[in-house]
Amino acid sequence: RTVYVNGEFLPEEAAKISVFDRGFLFADAVYEVTAVVNGKLVDFNGHYARLVRSCTELGLTLRLDEHALRDIHQRLIVENALQEGGIYLQLTRGNGGDRDFHYPPADTPPTLVLFTQARAVVDHPAASKGIRVVTCPDIRWQRRDIKTVQLLAPCMAKAFAEAQGADDAFLVENGYITEGSSCNCYIVQADNTVVTRPLSNSILHGITRKALVRLAEEHGVTIEERLFTPEEARNAREVFISSATTFVWPVIAVDGQTIGDGKPGPVTLLLRKIYLQML
Ligand code: PLP
């Protein structure tokens, strides 16, 4: 693979980052993952806008504008002949010269890395079969709206799910589901209303979520933004998740309890379909 590091396109074996990079030492870094389908970026504007917001919240300087950043993404798609998958971008506060908690001077050059990941998105088997999830406590920090690379808690949640024979974990705080370990969560009520947690600092403001809320309204599907409990999820007619790497995946079991008849439900499949049509 060709990867991008600080202005250069290099073979992945040749790419180097300092041991004093603050992304490595302190997770002092933000990231984005943009899906690629048919060699085209999905919702790049949305991902760029969120990256700018993450940088602003942390006082990180993104030295490239939307056009320049899109060009880097597109060159990686071409160099790696990427048809379907995603592009990962990480921006760190750079090399602080030593291990020092204090932020380095504001003119310290940030570290920007991008690489491609080829994988099935449109025809992924989980999209038609659905996934099984378990709930576990949300032990993350309180600024989940900032897309930082502090991802040990979600890694632990996924390991916990795997140990239970499940595919992923839904995180629970104060008795309510916040989101999945790397996705936003939805339940479908008996009246076909889709329920999802409102935006706040407690969850990542998903770019896929934003598109789905808009598309649902255009197609007459009602979305209600409110908190919901693991018990409501276990008893919901349908449950599903969204993210840039999955788009929409049905959830067919929560904590070992089968959802509906154990098959992906009609509202979930409709939303996945209209999302794919939008592409
Ligand atoms: N929530 C969390 C914790 C995530 O890590 C992600 C994606 O990685 C999402 C939600 C979904 O966001 P998006 O649709 O922008 O990928």
Contact 73, 33 (CB under 8 A): no
CATH number at residue 83: 3.30.470.10
Q: Going by CA atoms, what residue is nearest to atom 3 of ligand 1?
A: 182
For the Cβ of 246 lying below 6 angstroms from any atom of ligand 1, the answer is no
| pLDDT value of residue 3 | 99
- Last-in-domain residue among 83, 99, 118: 118
Measure the CA–CA gap between 6 and 70, rounded to whole angstroms. 15
Interface pTM, i.e. ipTM: 0.99
Considering 16, 40, 129, 147, which one is annotated as catalytic? 147
For the Cβ of 2 lying below 6 angstroms from any atom of ligand 1, the answer is no
Range of the domain at 179: 125-278
Number of domains in the chain: 2
Answer yes or no: do 91 and 176 share one domain.
no
| pLDDT value of residue 203 | 98
| pLDDT value of residue 268 | 98
- Last-in-domain residue among 118, 138, 156: 118
Angle at 214 between CA 76 and CA 184, to 5 degrees: 65
Answer yes or no: do 156 and 106 share one domain.
no
Burial of 108 (0-12, 13-18, 19+ CB in 10 A): middle
- Last-in-domain residue among 56, 87, 118: 118
- Say how many residues make up the chain: 279
Answer yes or no: do 105 and 167 share one domain.
no
| pLDDT value of residue 218 | 96
DSSP 124-178: -HHHHH-EEEEEEE----S-TTS-BS--HHHHHHHHHHHHTT-SEEEEEETTEEE
User: What is the mean pLDDT, run by run of 10 residues, along the chain of 279 residues?
Assistant: 98 98 98 98 98 98 96 98 98 97 96 98 97 98 98 98 98 98 98 98 98 97 98 98 98 98 98 97
For the Cβ of 182 lying below 6 angstroms from any atom of ligand 1, the answer is yes
Answer yes or no: do 85 and 179 share one domain.
no
DSSP letter assigned to residue 22? H
Catalytic residue check, 147: yes
